[in-house]
Chain A
Amino acid sequence: EIVLTQSPATLSLSPGERATLSCRASESVGSYFAWFQQKPGQAPRILIYDASIRATGIPARFSGSGSGTDFTLTISSLEPEDSAVYYCQQRNTGVTFGQGTRLDIK
């Protein structure tokens, strides 16, 4: 099973700041990689797929980069509504998720 390790576990930032979330895969997943946002009581929402393609309706402040084993989700200028847990996910071999990064906007 491909293990995805996210860092940091928790991130606390202010509105307008830049957030950088990381995910490392235990082996190469190519560009078969996605990022999700999940708010309490809600289903996950896809932000990025195929490593760097923004999903429909996702604001331009969200961007994804990386390939192989190292991936980054960047939120360029935080809004209060970006408070959520963010998960990375691969579908190169089976489907697995990272353990999540909690982003608090203070």
Chain B
Amino acid sequence: QVQLQESGPGLVKPSETLSLTCTVSGGSISSGEFFWSWFRQPPGKGLEWIGYISSSGSPYYNPSLSSRVTISPDTPKSQFSLKLNSVTAADTAVYYCARLRCTSGCSRGGAFDIWGQGTMVAVSS
């Protein structure tokens, strides 16, 4: 049974870098037709895709955030990380990691079928 768990600081100062880690238990991030993803949800608002990495480590980012985001794997630890730089109050949100299971190839479609519980990150001085 694959499970995901986010971890990292709950408070980040404006202009600094937000860093989170997602630990995957019960499976490897480097095998199978899966993408490993980050999402966020500001308080009281909807969901936003941040980006993902393929099982081979190729990253794909939301164009609206791509200049500030890095997602990278740590395969031996079965973890993947999110770094978002130059944060502002608008980056305050619950951050989720999730697994995308590819269905008919990996270029489109698929199912974000397993999610972490989420971690709240506030940006404030």
Contacts and interface: CB of A to CB of B under 8 A. Distances in A.
Q: Do A and B come from one complex?
A: yes
A64 interface: no
Given A43-B96, A43-B116, A96 B49 contact: yes
Contact of B104 (A36, A44, A50, A96): A50
A71 B112 CA distance: 18
A98 B45 CA distance: 11
B111 A34 contact: yes
Given A97-B46, A97-B47, A49 B116 contact: no
A91 B96 contact: no
A91 B47 contact: no
Contacts of B108: 30, 32, 91-92
> Main SS of chain A's interface residues?
loop
B110 A98 contact: no
B109 A31 contact: yes
Contacts of A84: none
A73 B23 CA distance: 32
B103 interface: yes
Interface string B85-121: 0000000000010101001100011111101111000
A44 B115 contact: yes
A42 to B, nearest CB: 8
5 contacts: A30-B108, A44-B47, A49-B109, A50-B109, A92-B109
Interface of A: 1, 30-32, 34, 36, 42-46, 49-50, 53, 55-56, 87, 89, 91-92, 94-100
Interface of B: 46-49, 62-64, 96, 98, 100, 103-104, 108-113, 115-118
Given A92-B109, A96-B49, A100-B46, 17 more contacts: A1-B63, A30-B108, A32-B108, A36-B47, A42-B117, A43-B116, A44-B112, A45-B115, A46-B111, A49-B110, A50-B103, A87-B46, A89-B47, A89-B112, A91-B109, A97-B49, A98-B46
